[in-house]
Amino acid sequence: MNNLILLLFPSILYLSLLVNTILASNYIPKDHILLNCGSFDPQTTDSDSRKWSSDYKSNFLSSSNGSFRAIAATKSRNVPKVPYNSARIFYSKITYTFPISSHGRVFLRLYFYPNTYSRSNATINALFSVDVGTYTLLKNFDAYKTTRSLGVEYVVKEYYINVGSGELVVTFSPSDMTSFGFVNGIEVVSVPKVYDNEVGVSILGASSPFTIDGSTALESLYRLNVGGSYVPPTKDTGLSRSWFEDTKYIFGSQFGAANSKDPNVNITFPNSLPSYTAPIDVYSTARFMTPDNFLNLKFNLTWSLSIDNGFTYLVRLHFCEIFSNIDKVNQIVFNIFLNNETAYSGVDVIALTESNGVPYFMDFVVILPSDDGGDSKQDLWVALNPDTSDKPEYYNAFLNGLEIFKINNTDGSFAL
Ligand SMILES: *[C@@H]1O[C@H](CO)[C@@H](O)[C@H](O)[C@H]1NC(C)=O
Ligand SMILES: *[C@@H]1O[C@H](CO)[C@@H](O)[C@H](O)[C@H]1NC(C)=O
Ligand SMILES: *[C@@H]1O[C@H](CO)[C@@H](O)[C@H](O)[C@H]1NC(C)=O
Ligand SMILES: *[C@@H]1O[C@H](CO)[C@@H](O)[C@H](O)[C@H]1NC(C)=O
Ligand SMILES: *[C@@H]1O[C@H](CO)[C@@H](O)[C@H](O)[C@H]1NC(C)=O
Ligand SMILES: *[C@@H]1O[C@H](CO)[C@@H](O)[C@H](O)[C@H]1NC(C)=O
């Protein structure tokens, strides 16, 4: 018991060493388009040194009647200039067409900063839909309401879509005659099948698995570097994902202990897991329960994340044992609960990976029926607690990363 206590505290100091972790080879996307919508500059560079091109006179903007370029009326310190300083405003349907040389999955990211653009005040009457083929990504989308409810100034919507045809066609349409729409940026990046699962993911509370094949699209809702810090798109594994801190999603007063890997533990991907699955920085940090075995029996380490009722969700939990003194089975064994139901009991990461420093993930599907009471949202609870049934050496539990996706409904929609 004392060993772990000693290790959990000083390891916080190792945070600064993270930069030195060995670089796993990154995925190199065949297609990567960064479009700064409505920009008056043909080329702009964001704070991560990524280059964006304007959609003005761009081949990607295949139909733009009734649309124009405009600059945000008010500036905010917290809002990056690129791509949020400008937007394309549309009063009728517009279409962007992106040629995709690699048939398969792409991430489509849509960037929105509700502001006033020319005389179009997006905090009042911007309401629009976004469609891709048979998928409805956004319907009667109110970007201002969305940012307000999240307590943020801008929002990025990310979708994982299969492109079979060689082009990705994205259509934006105002909801009605009195409303308009806007978009500040569009990013398209071709990616490997990181989230597909043809064998099937186990569904909480059901015996038959859930297949994630080419007909399934995902909307990324949460992507957390649990126990670690923000990982920007440029530090991802080539897929340009952002990984956020987990602290604001922790439920209750028990935050456990955020830890970084021991310097003498190397993160090494097994042959069965592609190194683009998640950045080494995500696997190098974890949130454990407290160093007190007996306190850990009195609470669950819990994250609470707001999601919509009436949809199905993919939940991915990333694990990697980061302590050099945890390298044998039955040292740390724990249970995973999703919405108070047991998703997996007796998780022993060393038993699954055979060694510390080896990344691993688990997927689960959670189906949330529509709420008869009419509540459109609820909180998804992800909770861990020690499994003491085989008397492990420590009563603890940990998590390195967490991703939550909404799965399109039978109508191909993500909208309520
Ligand atoms: C756009 O407007 C031009 C000029 O009014 C017209 O010729 C063209 O057909 C329109 N295109 C679409 C796609 O509506
Ligand atoms: C946009 O509308 C909001 C809400 O009515 C108002 O507070 C704001 O001043 C308007 N912005 C501009 C630039 O007119
Ligand atoms: C970790 O990697 C470094 C550099 O490649 C190597 O020198 C060291 O021996 C490795 N440590 C372990 C425990 O494998
Ligand atoms: C889990 O159970 C607790 C205690 O009964 C309850 O307060 C909470 O709402 C439940 N959470 C979910 C997501 O069902
Ligand atoms: C942890 O969560 C599970 C599932 O909701 C619950 O049965 C158990 O009582 C919780 N444990 C504690 C100590 O709160
Ligand atoms: C997702 O949408 C596609 C296209 O509309 C549809 O074929 C597929 O069945 C949907 N998936 C689910 C799980 O409903």
Q: 116: Cβ below 6 Å to ligand 2?
A: yes
Residue 345 tokens read as 């009991």
The neighbour count for residue 166, using CB atoms within 10 Å, is: 10
Q: Residue 47 burial by CB count (10 A; 0-12/13-18/19+): exposed, middle or buried?
A: exposed
Q: Is the pLDDT of residue 3 over 50?
A: no
The beta strands (E) that lie in 309-395 are given as: 312-319, 334-338, 341-347, 360-367, 377-386
Residues forming a β-bridge with 89 = 68, 182
Cα 311–chain centre separation: 17
State how far the alpha carbon of 253 is from the alpha carbons of 287, 290, 298, 301, 351, in Å. Answer: 14, 12, 12, 10, 31
Q: 328: Cβ below 6 Å to ligand 5?
A: no
SS3 406: strand
State pLDDT tens for residues 315-372: 999 999 999 999 999 999 999 999 999 999 999 999 999 999 999 999 999 999 988 7
Q: Is the pLDDT of residue 15 over 90?
A: no
Determine contact, residues 31/190, Cβ cutoff 8 Å: yes
Q: 121: Cβ below 6 Å to ligand 2?
A: yes
State how far the alpha carbon of 184 is from the alpha carbons of 55, 89, 134, 189, 353, in Å. Answer: 10, 9, 23, 17, 43
Separation of CA 121 and ligand 2 centre (Å): 6
Q: Which helix (H) or strand (E) holds 136?
A: strand 135-141
Separation of CA 252 and ligand 4 centre (Å): 12
- Ligand with the closest atom to the CA of 414: 6
Place of tokens 């959990």: 8
Cα 166–chain centre separation: 25
Question: Is the Cα torsion angle 370, 221, 125, 153 positive or negative in sign?
Answer: positive
Mean predicted confidence (pLDDT) in 153-180 = 96
Residue 386 tokens read as 């020690």
Residue 24: predicted pLDDT: 57
Residue 412: predicted pLDDT: 98
The neighbour count for residue 253, using CB atoms within 10 Å, is: 6
Residue 263: predicted pLDDT: 96
Closest Cα partner for 315 from 361, 281, 246, 247?
361
Residue nearest to atom 9 of ligand 1 (CA): 65
The neighbour count for residue 5, using CB atoms within 10 Å, is: 14
Q: 410: Cβ below 6 Å to ligand 3?
A: no
Ligand 6 atom nearest residue 407's Cα: 13
Mean predicted confidence (pLDDT) in 253-267 = 97
Q: How far apart are CA 98 and CA 170, in angstroms?
A: 8
The band of 277, judged by pLDDT with boundaries at 50, 70 and 90, is very high
For the entire predicted model, the pTM comes to 0.93
State pLDDT tens for residues 46-95: 999 999 999 999 999 999 998 999 999 999 999 999 999 999 999 999 99
Determine contact, residues 182/126, Cβ cutoff 8 Å: yes
Percent of the chain with pLDDT over 70: 94
Residue nearest to atom 2 of ligand 1 (CA): 65
Q: How far apart are CA 296 and CA 305, in angstroms?
A: 22
The neighbour count for residue 300, using CB atoms within 10 Å, is: 20
Residue 360: predicted pLDDT: 98
Mean predicted confidence (pLDDT) in 129-139 = 97
What is the rounded end-to-end Cα distance, in angstroms, of the chain? 49
Residue 416: predicted pLDDT: 83
Ligand 6 atom nearest residue 409's Cα: 14
| Structural Rg of the chain based on CA atoms | 22
Residue 191 tokens read as 């990616």
Determine contact, residues 214/394, Cβ cutoff 8 Å: no
